[in-house]
Structure formats: structure tokens, C-alpha cells
Structure 1
């Protein structure tokens, strides 16, 4: 199965938590149907991306990256790569690369949320997961980040935009 086929399958099977998320789920499927290259950065009409919010449930905190290009506190994530075979695998790869934390595991149950946003390269149709940090996890800043920092759940709204706040709230509801 190709990454494209896996993404179609993930989106078809995902039970959206509300009407807005269902509209996004359907729009992502329509995008893929209209754009055979819709998984890749080269698709200028927009592309599927994968991200993961790194969480430490025992500590009641999340790890955010100060994105080098966007200069915003965000969850880990980005473009799918040719070596990616699944959408959850792409999200986990991005989370481990950008956090420097080995041994992350995705929260079971599939994506947490979908978020469509404009970036300098194109529209990102982001499929968002949550990744559980192992006990004693120590982060390491990658070249894609200006900084990495753990934030208590209740402090995220003071530093991040509404999409990250929604992701944290939905993740907490699933824990």
C-alpha cells in the first residue's frame, strides 16, 4: 500500500469528533481525489502534512517547538517524505526528528484532529496525532527549531495559536 492509499484509508476510517472536523475530513479526501500528488510538498494546490503533539501525561505538559521559519510555538510536524509508508508513521518520524526524543509512541485510535492552514509554500492539510513521551524523556533541538520547551497544559494558550490550543484540549480529552 502506498502512502497516498494509506492516507485515503486513514481519512475514510477516522470518526470525526464534530461537524467541522467532518467537513475537513471530506475536504481532505476530495483534495486527494483531485490531486494524485496531494501528499507531496510539490503540490502547490496544497498537500497533506502530518504532525504530532508530544505529551507527557504524568507531568501534565506538552513539548512545543519554536518553528525556525514561522517563528511560532507549534507541535512537531511537517511534510511527508518518500520513505514514509503510513501517515501515522510520518507523524511519528517528524515528532522524533524535531523533538530529539527516541521512543515516542502514538496515542492509539488514529488522528486527534485535522487542521487546514496556509503556509509560505502552500495550504497544509495537517493530520494531527498525539505522541506519548517515555518517562525521563530529554528533548534535543533540531535544525528546524529555534527552541524546544515543555509547557503545562494550561500555559499553552499564552504562547501558541488557537490550532495548537484546540489540539491540546482534544488530546487531553482523549487521555
Structure 2
């Protein structure tokens, strides 16, 4: 099964945000290359909010290009076989934390946001990743900073998409 096929199955099984989910599915039906960065109509991305429920905190990255506090995530790569795997790979690479595990139940949210040309849209499939006990984060080249924030601090530093992702994640814990 291809990454494209996996994304279609994941999205068909995702029961929330039905209107937005349908936009994703229409995009994938129209674009066989819709999973990857070269697709100028937009492309599916994968991300994960790294969470430490024992300490009531989340790890956010100060994105190098956007200068915004965000969850870990990014573009799907040719070696990715599943959207969930891409989200976990991105979270591990950007957090430097080995042993992350995705919160069961599939994607937590979808978030479609415009990006600069030559592409038009990121169609982000958002997961949550649980940090193992005693996890120590290590900043990557993609970040200006990496920091743990208490749940109640997130709204003061991040945009509404991250706040909504945290809210939906906490409902699943």
C-alpha cells in the first residue's frame, strides 16, 4: 500500500471535521502526488503534539522559518509508508526524544493552512505523541528553540491551531 493509499484510508476513518476531511479526500483524489511537497496545489503534511501527561506539559518548537511556536511536524518523505509513521518520524527528529509513541485512536485533528508560493496549502494531519518518562528534548536544525510549556501556557504562546490540537488531545487522555 502506498502512502497516498494509507492517507485515504486514515481520512476515511476519521469521523470528526467532516467538511475539512472531505477537502483532504478530494485533494488526494485529484492529485496522485498530493502527499508530497512538489504538488503545487498543496500537499498533506503530518505532525504530532509531543505531550508529557505526567507533568501536564507539551513540547513546542519555535519554527525556524515561521518564527512561531508549533507542534513538531512537516513534509512526508518518500520512505514514509504511513501518515502516522511520518508524524512520529517528524516528532522524533524535531524533538530529539527517542521512544515517543502516538496516542491511540488515529489523528487528533486536521488543520488546513495557506503557505507561500509555489505551493498553496498544507493539509496537516495532526496526531499526539506521548513522551516517555524522563524524556529530555534536544533541539534540531529546524528549530530556533524547543521548550516545554504547561497546558495553561500554550494559549499565550501558540496560535489557535495548536491550542485546538491540545484541547482535543486532552479529551483523549
User: Aligning the two structures, in what range does the TM-score lie when normalised by the shorter sequence?
Assistant: over 0.9
Q: What is the CA–CA distance in structure 2 between the aligned matches of 1:56 and 1:8, rounded to whole Å? A: 30
Q: Which residue in the other structure is 2:123 paired with?
A: 125
Q: Which residue in the other structure is 1:86 paired with?
A: 82
Q: What is the CA–CA distance in structure 2 between the aligned matches of 1:41 and 1:11, rounded to whole Å? A: 19
CA RMSD of aligned residues (A): 0.6
Q: Which residue in the other structure is 1:170 paired with?
A: 168
Q: What is the CA–CA distance in structure 2 between the aligned matches of 1:122 and 1:98, rounded to whole Å? A: 24
Q: What is the CA–CA distance in structure 1 between the aligned matches of 2:84 and 2:30, rounded to whole Å? A: 22
Secondary structure of the equivalent of 2:94? helix
CA deviation string 1:94-142 (max 9, x = no partner): 0000000000000000000000001224310000000000000000000
Secondary structure of the equivalent of 1:53? strand
Q: What is the CA–CA distance in structure 2 between the aligned matches of 1:35 and 1:160, rounded to whole Å? A: 31
For structure 1, the 5+ residue unaligned runs are none
Q: CA deviation at 1:15?
A: 1.7
Q: What is the CA–CA distance in structure 1 between the aligned matches of 2:159 and 2:18, rounded to whole Å? A: 22
> TM-score, normalising length from structure 1?
0.96
Q: How many residues align?
A: 171
| Residue 64 in structure 1 maps to residue 79 in structure 2 | no
Q: What is the CA–CA distance in structure 2 between the aligned matches of 1:108 and 1:70, rounded to whole Å? A: 29
Q: What is the CA–CA distance in structure 1 between the aligned matches of 2:56 and 2:15, rounded to whole Å? A: 26
Runs of 4+ in 1 over 4 A off after TM superposition: none
> TM-score, normalising length from structure 2?
0.98
Secondary structure of the equivalent of 2:146? strand
| 1:73-152 equivalence runs, <5 A | 73-120=69-116, 121-152=119-150
